[in-house]
Amino acid sequence: MRAKYGIAAVLLAIAMFAAGPPAQAQRANSRTDAEIEKADQDYPKAFACMDPRYATQVDDKPGKCPDGKSMEQIRLGLAYKCLRGPAEYQATEGPCRYTPEQPKVAVTASVFWTCKSAPDKRLLNPGTCSDGSRAQIGFEERPHGDHNPRHGGPAIFMNDKDLSYHVEGTYTSDGVFHAFFYNEFTKPRKIAGVTGRVAVANSNSVATGPEIPLQLAPIADGNELDAHIPNAPVPSPDSKVFFKLYIKLKPTGPDWVTDHGPFASYSKDPAPPAPATSTGATRGAPATTRGGAQQPATTARGTPPSAPAVKPSATATKPAPPKPTPPAAAPPAAAPSVQTETPQPSGTIMAGGAEVGGGPTGPQVTLPEKTPDLLAFLKDNAAQVKQLLDEGQLGGMWYPALNAKDAGLELDAKHREGLTDAQRAKLASDVKQLTVAAWQIDAAGDLGNRSQLDQLTSDFQAQVSDILSLYGK
């Protein structure tokens, strides 16, 4: 999935405009500068490893990957996609054609621009092409960029030793715990030879019940292990149920341990995609639980925690993320080709990772316009990150972390009045570190790595405190 970027095309386009009348050149450069400034806000630059094995490693400065290759500079951002039926990337939220009751969901993507005259050349910045047209934005989903649950579970976790293994746990009304396995593009992964046990646990991730062996479920994808829980507890908002899952990828290998929950209700499988008809898409059939009870369809990646209330404003809405969100069994050997056959929103192109589409989950959040309100929004979301960590809801931490990141970027872009030059430089540095920390929290939440999240959250809170202190808060 190695992407190649070229800034020369952007510089050439700017130079071509400069060769025209002065007024035209000034307008063109101004427009390009504004586009780049917006891209810096929506899709921050970062250095990342391109090999799927190390794709979760992101930093704000150059470095080396575990395979010895240099990290590449990319733009990271969110795209939107449908989880069922044809996957279609786009830059904003929207309904899916074949499952309109299930909106497109968030995935973490590498963002770039291309020109029709050189579609294989990826530009790191927006700009003007040699033929005078505007470069079109494109998205390529990152490995591990889509951790949206497929069967109504709270989260998907990945193995920290072999990142090609991911697991989603669900709990259904027949008292059965289900473990579904996926590859790094959240495609079903066959699990011949994989074994496991599951136990009821408490909110502190301590097993309180016996370990029940899991059995391979007879489904076509071959990616599900099940266990019937004796004296199965009934979940409710006041009596949430937790499970501890122990998986052995190899008979003599170590346990891969993940915590699943809280389950405040039984899991529900989303509805399958409706077939296309001559009169357009029809709604899918009602979703059912694994136990057979009819239930309404649910959206993927779980429900994000409630966002703090903010006043409506005229500013552009910032779509609510995670990954980072967020998809045959084996990962592709090379980067998928750009998809051009699917209808797309004007001004966008799409690139795929194993049949993926595009978009963030959760409600859209409008950032406050006034500095004090934006600082309060930053502080509230940072508090939510810590609260979710304390409650063990690791799979939900991505949402307030990325909201806080957006608030930091907004402060650095539009709310620097009253700060000295030294304070502005410190703000830019803090926001850059906050942005990287937010993506790292998203990745660590997907791992279900509590110890790593403890440290990341501590660093995250320190950056937020530094930013607030610059404004005397």
Q: Quick one: pLDDT at residue 457?
A: 92
d(CA 186, CA 405): 25
Q: Quick one: pLDDT at residue 155?
A: 84
Token look-up 């790191």 returns 124
CATH number at residue 214: 2.60.40
Domain assignment of residue 199, given as a range:
156-281
Token look-up 């190390």 returns 54
Is the domain of 137 the same as that of 163? no
d(CA 385, CA 391): 10
CATH number at residue 373: 1.20.120
Domain count, the chain: 3
In a domain, residue 335? The reply is: no
Is the domain of 127 the same as that of 178? no
Which residue type sits at 349? I
Q: Quick one: pLDDT at residue 18?
A: 35
Are the C-beta atoms of 156 and 169 separated by less than 8 Å?
no
Q: Going by C-beta distance under 8 Å and a sequence separation of 6 or more, which residues neighbour residue 248?
A: 194, 195, 196, 254, 255, 256
Give CA separation, 14 vs 25, 124, 129, 338, 412, in Å. Answer: 8, 15, 9, 26, 26
The helix (H) or strand (E) run that includes residue 156 is strand 156-158
Is the domain of 136 the same as that of 194? no
Q: Quick one: pLDDT at residue 462?
A: 92
- pLDDT 10s per residue in the chain (473 long)? 233 223 323 222 323 233 344 444 444 456 778 888 888 888 889 899 988 888 878 888 899 999 999 999 999 888 899 888 887 888 888 888 888 888 888 888 899 999 998 888 999 999 999 999 999 999 988 888 888 889 999 888 888 788 889 999 999 999 999 999 999 889 999 998 999 999 999 988 889 999 999 999 999 999 999 999 999 999 999 999 999 999 999 999 999 999 898 899 999 987 555 544 333 333 223 333 333 333 323 333 333 433 333 222 222 333 333 333 333 333 333 333 333 223 333 233 333 322 222 223 334 567 899 999 999 999 999 999 999 888 777 878 888 998 999 899 999 989 999 999 999 999 999 998 898 888 888 877 777 767 778 889 999 999 999 999 999 87
How many CB atoms are located within 10 Å of the residue 69 CB? 13
Token look-up 């806000």 returns 41
Is the domain of 219 the same as that of 243? yes
Nearest to 193 by CA among 232, 170, 165, 156: 165
In a domain, residue 294? The reply is: no
Q: Quick one: pLDDT at residue 180?
A: 97
| Domain end (from 281, 296, 323) | 281
d(CA 81, CA 287): 20
How many CB atoms are located within 10 Å of the residue 334 CB? 7
Is the domain of 137 the same as that of 13? yes
Are the C-beta atoms of 243 and 206 separated by less than 8 Å?
no
The torsion angle over the Cα atoms of residues 290, 292, 293 and 298, rounded to 10 degrees, is: 40
| Domain end (from 225, 249, 281) | 281
DSSP assigned state of 32:
H
In a domain, residue 310? The reply is: no
Are the C-beta atoms of 307 and 402 separated by less than 8 Å?
no
In a domain, residue 292? The reply is: no
In a domain, residue 316? The reply is: no
Q: Quick one: pLDDT at residue 278?
A: 33
Q: Quick one: pLDDT at residue 334?
A: 33
pTM of the model: 0.60
Q: Quick one: pLDDT at residue 296?
A: 29
In a domain, residue 48? The reply is: yes
Nearest to 372 by CA among 449, 431, 310, 439: 310
Q: In what order do the strands lie in the sheet with 176-182?
A: 156-158, 166-172, 176-182, 224-228, 215-216
Is the domain of 393 the same as that of 439? yes
In a domain, residue 336? The reply is: no
Token pair in block for residue 161: 């030793």
The helix (H) or strand (E) run that includes residue 92 is none
In a domain, residue 332? The reply is: no
